[in-house]
Chains A and B, each alone.
Chain A
Amino acid sequence: MTKFLATLLATSAAVAVMSASAIAAEMPKKIGYVTNYATHEWYQNVIKGMQDRAQQLGIELEVRDANLDVNKQVSAAEDFMSRGVDVLIITPVNEEGVVPLVRRAKEEGLPLVLEGNPVKGMTTMVAICDYDTGYHAGVEAGKYAKGHLGGVAKVMNVGLPLLSATVLRSNGFMDGLKTEIPDATMVHDLDGGGNPDRALEISAAALAQNSDINIIYGINDSSSQGGLQAWKASGRSQDGLLVVGTGGEGLGFINMMNTEPSYQIEAAMFPEKVGFTAIDAAVKLFNDEEVPQHIVSPTTPMIGSDGWKQYYSVDGTTRTINWDAVNAVQPAEQCMKTAADL
């Protein structure tokens, strides 16, 4: 009998404790995420990070893909609203194109977290600092150029003018580089379309136009890969070349760091961590907690052929993030420059 009572007491105590913590942070049941391009490795890993975090917290996560179509994105968000999710997360295909969506979510009292790009009227956004990411990689590139390239820096930027984020990365890279090498120049500012085949084609023409390039900067891994492959295809040796990629989207950069001697710096942006942070932000919004307008997800340059091993391990065709190491990277309090400064 006493044993039974004791058990009862213990159980109710446990229930009380659990409900107390539940009051502290109520969990949304269902979160809907409209991504802009689910088949891209970057977003696959953002989703992976979201799923990991949602599972830990016992939240159901549903994902819809706009597949780079602004109109489809609006439709997908509408579908989520009519299904009744508790929080909505959106990566805008275009930041102007979701302004009405932000308003509609507000009218319905649906908490909305934006990922990647700021939108007029939003409550909060989870994003890396694109300018800072480029900047810190630029500083490292400057140091490398001093040590290995005779202090000369002539850059081919395999860029993407389509997005403010990617323009910020390129600007940040050049500014960071100039802190070490003041007379660094951007010899070519290219639109590589962000995909490797176009980047390769454009880079091949640009390399032929001006041959004294010694640094290739890519706004994502596909762009740096396109630039590097164009370099190799033209029969040049990789001695005296530095390739800097951005993103750390998938396996591509790991493979290149392992096999290409010139691929020495990767500005890692940890997509998994972005997803992780977005879920945490969603939970906070759901509980009406105070959140900053821009929740920064950390980035850091990885240097040398082993630089990535601290943060990732690879088994066959899957990579696993080392959460302890990534969570230890401190995000900036505030971005040095944002799209508003362009």
Chain B
Amino acid sequence: MSEITQPAKSGPVAGRLANNSQIVLLALLVVLCIGISLSAAQFYSVENVIAILRQCSLVLIVGAGMTMLLIAGEVDLSVGASLAFSGCVAMDVTNKTGSVFLGALAGILFGGLVGLFNGLVVTRLKVNSLIATIATMMILQGGVFLYTREAVQNKHQQPAFTDISTGYLGPIPLPVIIAAAVFACAYVALRYTTLGRYIYAVGANAKAARLSGRRPEQLKLLVFVVTGLLAGLTGLILASLMNTGQPTAGRGFELTVIAAVILGGTSLLGGRGTLLGTLLGVLILKVIDNGIIILRWDQNLQMIVPGVVIVLATYLDLVRRRADAR
């Protein structure tokens, strides 16, 4: 019986810890928004809010998977390359079949296959996920050019394809709805199901989880596949947004996602983290990115500021956790 209570305990504990840091993040976000809007009123224009949310949704969709992956103690650096490839596949299949549904399905499934490959390499071949997914990134960056020499153009001209990114449901852009749905599913799965508790348990202590009869390898494989599918979904939305399948898209996307997840308080060592934190992390990074343009600051700051913010946030988190421990 104790085997079950142990992982079950780590969920709420992690949740409580993270709740504290989320207040800090929320405060930071509020300060940022107020600060930016004081000097540039356009920040709160409907158009800008929608632009920010659309960018956030791309990062958040992959971020939901990445959060679970980091909590389980693994990482995936191939998501950027994977979403570029998935976007090309989605556009190409839509061109060839004339069916947006089949194209979208192919793109998402391709991402899932990449996730499956990553998962198998990590869980079966026992390759450290940081290295394995760097290697996958290289394979995908090379592979996409073997698949298509140039950007895959939109030849089908189906409005449904562009609607995936630019359409609206009521006043809300579709990508935001998709991201919200993904987020809600991931949130429920991580917070309220046994599966979620196992993910925390596996990341916190893989050996203990194995002793308790769970199979951490299978669970990790599943999370890799989910992250892959989400990268495929993001690739589809990005291809729709750009109206082409761009083999060079997504460079550095993985770092943005991981930065947001870490900023949200998820531990790189596994076992600790929340999706709410990731949501706040994504919002903060994208608001900073947007704010630098809106305020007409030097765009080189778009590289420096997030770097400082992440280290600072991690430090504050650390300080608070030490204080809690006392």
Give chain B interface residues in 150-195, CB to chain A under 8 Å: 150-151, 153-155, 157, 162, 165-166
Report if A190-B241 is in contact (Cβ < 8 Å); known contacts: A195-B249, A197-B249, A205-B293: no
Which residues of chain A are near B150, meaning CB under 8 Å?
A: 41, 44, 250-252, 317
A35 to B248, CA, bound (A): 17
Q: Tell me, yes or no, whether B45 is within 8 Å of chain A by CB.
A: yes
Interfacial chain B residues near A208, Cβ < 8 Å: 42, 45, 47-48, 51, 294
> Which A residues are in CB contact (< 8 Å) with B243?
225, 229
CA distance A196 to B240 in the complex (A): 12
Of the candidates B50, B151, B238, B294, the one whose C-beta lies within 8 Å of that of A209 is B294
Q: Evaluate contact between B293 and A41: CB separation under 8 angstroms.
A: no
CB of B282 to closest CB in A, whole Å: 13
**A18 within 8 Å of B (CB atoms):** no
**Do B250 and A197 touch across chains, with their CB atoms under 8 A apart?**
yes
Q: Output the nearest chain B residue to A201 by Cβ-Cβ distance.
A: B55
Q: How far is the CA of A191 from the CA of B299 in the complex (A)?
A: 7
Pairwise interchain contact A255-B248, C-beta atoms closer than 8 A: no
B242 within 8 A of A: yes
Pairwise interchain contact A233-B166, C-beta atoms closer than 8 A: yes
Q: Which of B40, B246, B293 is close to A190, meaning CB atoms less than 8 Å apart?
A: B293
* 196-244 of chain B: CB within 8 A of chain A: 238, 241-244
A39 contacts B293, CB within 8 Å?
no
Q: Please tell me if B315 contacts chain A, counting CB pairs below 8 Å.
A: no
B153/A251 in contact, CB under 8 A: yes
Is residue B272 contacting chain A, with contact meaning CB distance below 8 A?
A: no
Q: How far is the CA of A181 from the CA of B290 in the complex (A)?
A: 31
In the complex, A232 has a CB within 8 A of chain B: yes
Q: Does B248 lie within 8 Å of A200, measured CB to CB?
A: no
Please name the residue on chain B nearest to A208 by beta carbon: B48
Chain B 32-60 interface mask (CB, 8 Å, partner A; 1/0): 00000000101001011011101100000
Chain B residue with the shortest CB-CB distance to A44: B149
Residues from chain B with Cβ under 8 Å of A210 in the complex = 42
Whether the Cβ atoms of A209 and B244 lie closer than 8 Å is: no
A234 in contact with B293 (CB, 8 Å):
no
Tell me the bound Cα distance from A230 to B166 in angstroms: 10
CA–CA, A251 and B242, complex, Å:
14
Task: State how many angstroms separate the Cβ of B151 from the closest Cβ of chain A.
Answer: 6
Cβ contacts under 8 Å, A317 to chain B:
148-150, 153
Give 15 CB contacts A-B under 8 Å: A197-B253, A201-B55, A204-B55, A205-B293, A207-B51, A208-B294, A211-B47, A233-B51, A235-B47, A235-B166, A252-B150, A252-B153, A317-B148, A317-B150, A317-B153
Known: A202-B293, A205-B294. 10 other contacts (CB 8 A): A44-B149, A190-B299, A195-B248, A205-B48, A205-B51, A205-B290, A208-B42, A232-B162, A255-B244, A317-B150
